[in-house]
Amino acid sequence: MSDEDENVDQDSMADEWAAAMEQQETEDGAAQSIDLDEFQPVTGAPTNNNPDLDVILDIPVSISMEVGRTSITIRNLLQLNQGSVIELDRLAGEPLDVLVNGTLIAHGEVVVVNEKFGIRMTDVISPSERIKKLR
């Protein structure tokens, strides 16, 4: 598959997700849309018009959602089999962690759109908070 075909597939998938999310929002009545134009850019923050930023915009990153964590011994790990249950450090219904390259960037909740799982961001961690956690 060529890069052009892949971009078309990703664009059509993104359109499907957007339409499904809009449909779900109108059915739920709970979600509110946000007009991003009303937000002012942070002073000194790079914008998409910055050619230096354009260089990194196409770098792939790994995004993952974490339901919870636990520690077990190797002995217990080797005893796991189909049907085993591992207790995690989270309560049912708590938000999931959204990690980009292993760094926490947001919390969210699981949604189902077109019979596929997705995640709705409920709390995005500010860049300044992420930098504080690195120190």
pLDDT in tens, 12-21: 767 777 777 6
- Could you give the number of structural domains in the chain? 1
User: For position 64, which CATH number holds?
Assistant: 2.30.330.10
Judge contact between 108 and 121, C-beta under 8 A.
Answer: yes
Q: Is the pLDDT of residue 71 over 90?
A: yes
Query: Does residue 25 form part of some domain?
Result: no
From edge to edge, which strands make up the β-sheet containing 116-124?
A: 63-66, 96-100, 103-113, 116-124
pLDDT in tens, 85-135: 999 988 888 899 999 888 889 999 989 989 898 889 999 988 888 777 776
What's the domain range around 78?
Answer: 59-134
pTM of model > 0.85? no
**Separation CA 38–CA 33 (nearest Å):** 12
Query: Does residue 30 form part of some domain?
Result: no
